[in-house]
Structure 1
Amino acid sequence: MKIQAEKIKNLLVQIDGFLVAIKEAENSQTDSLAKIAKPYRKSARNLVYYRALRKFDLRDFQKSMRQLGLSRFANAEGHIKASLLNTRLILQALIKDEGKKMLKSGLSIKSARRLLVSHTKDLLGYRSPGRRVRIMVTQPSEAANNYELVEQMVRKGMNVARINCAHDTPDIWLSIIKNIQVAAKASGRNVKIAMDLAGPKIRTGAIQPGPQVRKFKPLKNDLGEIIQAASVLLVPELEEGSADNALPIGAAALEGLNRGDELTFRDTRGKKRKLIIQERDKDGYLVAICEKTTYVKTGTVLQLSTLPEKVFVVGALPAVEHFILLKEGDVLRVDRTAVAGESAQYDDQGNCIQEAHISCQVPEIFKKIKKGHPVLFDDGKIKSKVIEVKEDCFRVSILRASEKGAKLRSEKGINFPKTTLGISGLTSKDNEDLKFVAEHADMVNFSFVNSKADVEELFAVLQELGAFNRLGVIFKIETRLAYNNLSEILMAAMQAKQVGVMIARGDLAVETGWDNIGLVQDEILAHCSAAHLPVVWATQVLENMAKNGLPSRSEMTDATISLRAECVMLNKGAYINDAIDLLDTILKDMEQYHDKKEIMLAKRTKLSIS
């Protein structure tokens, strides 16, 4: 017992040391704390406490606490001082020490939980019945003219609709927003609108376009027999959002054709082909079938079989999107000027006569690139190392690509995880888009925030637009620099009244390393818990489900882990409504057993077999 008492006294000394440290930290942050918005004053103070406590190596202390069956502070981020004082009181009672009186914690454990709930509601709106965690869904372009799609999203449980300003136009954004608002009102639900600023993301430039051609291929069985002919939609002209199987032949042509008519032609290979018209759809367009694989290009002449002199010419088709195929050991040149990219060219003997090249959309970075620095393309799918730097370009050697080679396309992200690029803050496009966001959205997602200065720049622009403290702000943590500056970003963020954090795990994993992403996302969650800030868990959640209709086992586990956040983001896909439905079910079912990070020990039940 004497040895046990000495251990407890040693723990009390350590706790007193922790309390002194957090008090000193608070005193040193007087100026910063004075700038915090009223709803976050207690939260900011607790974040200061948390940062001070994390300067200690607590592992031995935690082991000793565990041996006594007491709190190890593993889930105490949101109420540091209260947990320290409560634990000290328990330890004193164990050795009947009445030497020190209980101090006021300033923020009780219960109050800390209430703060997070309140801040989450202010930013993300009301939760769905039976579900604490909100669901955010990225809107596809199709949502602008497909009300039924949007209505299903709302009915299946979407709480926040996300529109990415990196894609589409203000007219399309407005149409999407109107559909969401109508669907929400019809369903009696509240759906918030969040809009992502594109930010200074570094991307690959254009690639030489391919021919203006479309391929139509019937579906065949293992014996090569046709089981479904290729469907071709004959339209007056192609528009943004037109179907991939559409062929433009002019408005006049559509009026003179009927069911059963056959259009004959020669495809790009000179092969005889025909289209057989089946019906006219609700939009007045003609649906035809093609029973053989065919390639149709701009300018192809179609003849009516019963009246050969009656011809129709295929209008402008989009160019086939090309790519650069890269394998391990290949060399790629990255150009400063906007030169259209091309694959490597080889002579008859297989010698490379022109290396593969592609441009970078942000020329400012070329001053920062150093030989030996790693460069990653397309969310880290292609890894390379800089082998040469010139004024107008740099060259990289491909270190990692898929076994058959990786396809690098235009508009793909480029990451420089060990290069300080000095690029952050709002772009000219962001400033223009913010005008629309301030007028039509409930919150803005700030991409590629890297520092306190970036936060202050955004707030200054929102002040000018009259949207500060009216528009909620979610700060997307997606770079190594943002992670390293996380505490100062959060402190600056809490000068506004409605703020949150998104863990953008795609770019973040590339920037910080795949081997570190588990630790990094845990640290972000912990810091946000300390600040009582709602967190959005983003990137590749149920991605396979949304795109292909069937989730992987790892996706199901990831969706369960997302209970540690206050909101989960789903990306667009053909099966997005099935993904929303599944995620809604997972979150509702698992919340019986998890409250944020804590396991809830409900009575164990066996799974029924149906």
Structure 2
Amino acid sequence: MPPTAGGDPQDFDICIKLIDQLWTLRQSMLERETALKAELDKVLPEYRQSARNLIHYLTLRSVDLRPLQDQLSRLGLSSLGRSESHVLANLDKVLGLLHRLTGQAWQDKSAQEPAGSSSSRELLKKHTLRLLGHAPTGRPVRIMVTLPTEAATDFNMVQELVDAGMDIARINCAHDSAPAWQSMATKVRQAAKAAHRPVKVLMDLGGPKIRTGPVADRPPVLKLKPGKDELGRVFRPARLHLRPIDSTELVPNVDASVGVWEVWLARLKAGSSIHFTDARGAKRHLLVIQNDGSGAIAESLQTAYLTPETVLTIGGAGGKKKHATLVCHIDRQQGALRLFIGDSLRLTKEGLGETGGMEEDSNELYPDTAHVAVTLPQVIDQVKVGERIWFDDGRIGGVIRHKTDTWLDIEITQARPDGEKLTGDKGINLPDSQLNLPALSDKDIEDLEAVAAVADMVGLSFVQKPADIALLCTHLQRLGREDMGIVLKIETLQGFENLPELMLSAMASSLAGVMIARGDLAVECGYERLAEVQEEILWCAEAAHMPVIWATQVLEFMAKTGLPSRAEISDAGLGVRAECVMLNKGPYITQAIRTLDDILKRMGGHQAKKRPLLRALKAWSGVGTTATDAMLEALKKNY
């Protein structure tokens, strides 16, 4: 009679069946590795074992393992659920135990295994250190911060970010200019030197981002509105800054600013009363509260609408001569189309976005048939009727209903009941379309000159296929920066689906990492699927021993308002499974960095990648018995 697993014949039969299934799976891994030998040969030697493990992981996840996992768990064995970083080694350990449970001999297979439990962690640590640098003491995850425009001229701001805990500075090449980027990078290096710790610089290329073209400006109408309480009583007057026509000076604590004739402006003094008839024919007046010579501030207790035809008048009482001026300059009012479900929107290859009408008492355009251009006109040639299209991070959705050589007609299917505003320079996503766009625009290639001069790593935006990485590497070699790290920004559905091939391609070139760019990715794959997709990216990257940057809207509400939402605190805590967490800019960004630093330090004691860490829980340490306390003391002595 054969030996049984734990004396249970049923368990013995399960063990025999599992050995057969796992051995077949093991053979499939090695066969796939052999089939991909040509791709593996292109990988740099330092990534070879990681590439092999990635192939084994892809083979493992090509089948539904859930029934097999249930049986392994019943036997008290590893269910392969945390084997990403050392797939073959974990599988071999389970096979070895199953052989022993069934009384069969097992020969050591470690020579065939690309990485074990310990060596896989060392590989990830080495790759992360080379790309992202050291993590600070007490915190296993680095913090990346997107620099605002002000960082180019304000050293103290950059110093505050570094002192708060910024480990990597991100410069977005979609904004500002090369001199500004260079200034930002220089200030980061100076602040890092003053703080006696390294801070790396990542520069993101703009990439083939599809956006709406400009929309015609709104009519120059300025609405002045005082603050009122629930009973309609004014508690804060509207404040208007009156400045010379050619002045661009900005004044704090005012609601709006207009340009007027300088000679007329000089006649104003505190207490002067300005009379006018507004755009609706309503008689209004302003009370001047100060005039410092370069401009005056006046207050109104009533709502008023001003246009360039509005005449402002002073004097006239007691036989005094009247003095008047036109409102000569009202700041540009950005154009916007308000779209409702069922509306038609025409997307064109060129032209200024505009519509045919404006609703009364509003500064927003309401379209009958609105139209707006797309910044990458070749997109119109590549999409198909029936495919979905999203605008402005998914706030406005539609379906392509008609197509010509020069435009698309889109039916709006997603918008709030009171409509959504669409302005220029808003993102467009086409999740159903197979787009063939250049990985690097002419601007990106030009920007690479500045990137190569000052950055430690470059972010490849909207990467979709291995050829995109090869093109970037060609330009980096031309610039003598083949040593530069590459961050693959996964923000399209095609990029996600091609992730394994992208990783293998990056391993053949230089230092590499992955950014989960959840903004565009959420729109592309659907918000409902984002949680699943971001997990799968984390798993795949762990199998490749490749560092991950957890990005987009982390503590965003806090960075903007100073107070975090409950949900984003939990989201920030999930970032501990990545090697770096990215924060975006905002007026309270320094406070957000400190909060994230605290969260990651705390969570670092509980979680390492997918693996829970069971440190002592101090909150419940007083709950127990004398026997329990004695057992804990014995454990402490032994460990």
* TM alignment of 1:125-140, pairs within 5 A: 125-140=133-148
Distance 1:2 1:287 in 2: 94
The match for 2:192 among 184, 188, 199 is: 184
Q: Which residue of 2 aligns with 1:475?
A: 488
The verdict on how the C-alpha distance between 1:303 and 1:568 changes in structure 2, with shifts beyond 3 A counting, is farther
Amino acid at match of 2:407: C
Which residue of structure 1 lines up, in the alignment, with residue 354 of structure 2? 341
Q: Which residues in structure 2 correspond to 1:176-215 (within 5 Å)?
A: 176-212=184-220, 215=223
SS of corresponding position for 1:383: strand
Closer/same/farther in 2, CA of residues 596 and 301 from structure 1, 3 Å limit: farther
1:98-137 correspondence runs (5 A): 98-104=105-111, 105-137=113-145
Tell me the residue number matched to 2:411.
397
Map 1:542-581 onto structure 2 (within 5 A).
Answer: 542-581=555-594
Q: Could you say which residue in structure 2 is the equivalent of 1:93?
A: 100
Structure 1 494/235 Cα, relative in aligned 2: closer, same or farther at 3 Å? Answer: farther
SS in 2 for 1:403: coil
Choose the corresponding residue for 1:384, options 387, 398, 418: 398
Aligned pairs (5 A) from 1:408-419: 408-419=422-433
Give the aligned partner of residue 147 of structure 1: 155
Q: Deviations over 1:146-174 (max 9, x none)?
A: 33333222222111121211122223323
Provide the rounded CA distance (Å) in 2 between the counterparts of 1:124 and 1:541.
19
- Per the TM alignment, residue 229 of structure 1 is displaced from its structure 2 partner at its CA by 4.9
Partner of 1:26: 33
Cα contact 1:203–1:413 (8 A) shared by 2: yes
* Counterpart-to-counterpart distance in 1, 2:323 and 2:449: 52
Of residues 471, 488, 493, the one that matches 2:506 is 493
Contact 2:268 2:296 in 1 (8 A): no
Q: 1:604 to 1:449 in 2, by over 3 A?
A: same
Please say which of residues 195-204 and 164-173 is displaced more in the overlay: 164-173
1:529 aligns with 2:542: yes
Q: Say if 1:214 and 1:297, in contact at 8 Å, map to a contact too.
A: yes
Q: Secondary structure at the match of 1:580?
A: helix
Mapped partners of 1:84, 1:44: distance in 2: 17
1:293-372 equivalent positions in 2, closer than 5 A: 317-342=330-355, 354-372=368-386
1:53 aligns with 2:60: yes
Matched, 1:290 2:312: no
Report the CA distance shift for 1:248/1:170 in structure 2 as closer, same or farther (over 3 A): farther
Relative distance call for 1:435 and 1:555 in structure 2 (3 A) is: same
User: Counterpart of 2:299 in structure 1: which amino acid?
Assistant: C
Offset of 1:545 from its aligned partner?
Answer: 1.7
Listed as ranges, the gaps of 5+ residues in structure 2 are 1-7, 361-365, 622-639
Local SS of the residue matching 1:206: coil
Q: Choose which of 490, 509, 513 in structure 1 pairs with 2:522.
A: 509
Contact 2:247 2:259 in 1 (8 A): no
Give the equivalent residue in structure 1 for 2:449: 435
In structure 2, what is the Cα distance between the partners aligned to 1:153 and 1:102? 49
Does structure 2 conserve the Cα–Cα contact (< 8 Å) formed by 1:216 and 1:290?
A: no
The answer (yes or no) to whether the contact 2:554–2:583 under 8 Å persists in 1 is yes
Residue 590, structure 1, aligned to residue 619, structure 2: no
Q: Identify if the C-alpha distance between structure 1 residues 79 and 99 changes in structure 2 by more than 3 Å, giving closer, same or farther.
A: closer
How far the C-alpha of 1:90 sits from its partner, in A, is 2.3
The answer to whether the Cα contact below 8 Å between 2:338 and 2:367 also exists between their aligned partners in 1 is no
CA contact (8 A) 2:278 2:284 kept: no
Q: Secondary structure at the match of 1:171?
A: helix
| More moved, 358-367 vs 246-255 | 246-255
Amino acid in structure 2 at the alignment position of 1:414: I
Q: Does 231-240 or 539-548 show the bigger shift?
A: 231-240
Q: Evaluate the alpha carbon distance shift between residue 333 and residue 272 of structure 1 in structure 2; reply closer, same or farther with a 3 A threshold.
A: same
Question: Map of 1:63-78 to 2, 5 A cutoff?
Answer: 63-78=70-85
After TM superposition, the score normalised by the length of structure 2 is 0.85
Q: d(CA) in 1 for partners of 2:125 and 2:149? A: 33
Residue 99 to residue 143, structure 1, CA distance change in 2 (3 Å): closer
**SS at structure 2 position matched to 1:173:** helix
Question: For the residues of structure 2 that align with 1:517 and 1:497, how far apart are their CA atoms?
Answer: 29
Contact map agreement 1:238 1:246 (CA 8 A) in 2:
no
Q: Does 2:23 correspond to 1:16? A: yes
Partner residue, 1:38: 45
* Preserved CA contact (<8 Å) 2:289 2:299: no
Count of matched residue pairs:
600
| 1:271-286 to 2 correspondences below 5 Å | 272-274=284-286, 276=288
CA–CA separation in structure 1 for the residues paired with 2:161 and 2:374: 37
Separation (CA, whole Å) in 1 of partners of 2:367 and 2:83: 62
> Can you list the C-alpha shifts for 1:13-68, whole angstroms capped at 9, x where unaligned?
22222222222222222222222123322211111111122223222221111112
RMSD of equivalent CA atoms? 3.4
* Contact map agreement 1:159 1:190 (CA 8 A) in 2: yes
**Identity of matched residues, %:** 38
Partners of 1:514 and 1:483 lie apart in 2 by 15
Instruction: Answer yes or no: is 1:62 the counterpart of 2:62.
Output: no
Whole-Å separation in 2 of the counterparts to 1:238 and 1:37: 59
Question: Which structure's CA Rg is the greater one?
Answer: 2
Q: 1:573 and 1:160 mapped to 2: Cα distance?
A: 17
Retained in 1: the 8 A contact 2:158–2:187? yes
> CA-to-partner distance for each residue in 1:347-401, whole Å, 9 max, x for gaps?
9xxxx99412211121112222322111111111111111211222111111111
Alpha-carbon contact 1:40-1:497 (below 8 Å) kept: no
Q: Distance in 1 between matches of 2:413 and 2:162?
A: 44
What is the Cα deviation at residue 177 of structure 1?
Answer: 2.6
Range with bigger deviation, 582-591 or 145-154: 145-154
State the Cα distance separating 1:551 from its structure 2 match: 2.1
Question: Could you report, residue by residue, the CA deviation over 1:393-434 in whole angstroms, capped at 9, with x for unpaired residues?
Answer: 111111111121111111111111111121141111111111
Contact 1:538 1:568 (C-alpha < 8 Å) held by counterparts: yes
Distance 1:254 1:524 in 2: 64
Distance 1:144 1:304 in 2: 44
C-alpha displacement at 1:79, in angstroms? Answer: 0.9
The Cα offsets for residues 311-346 of structure 1, whole Å up to 9 and x where unpaired, read as 998775541112111111111111222233326679
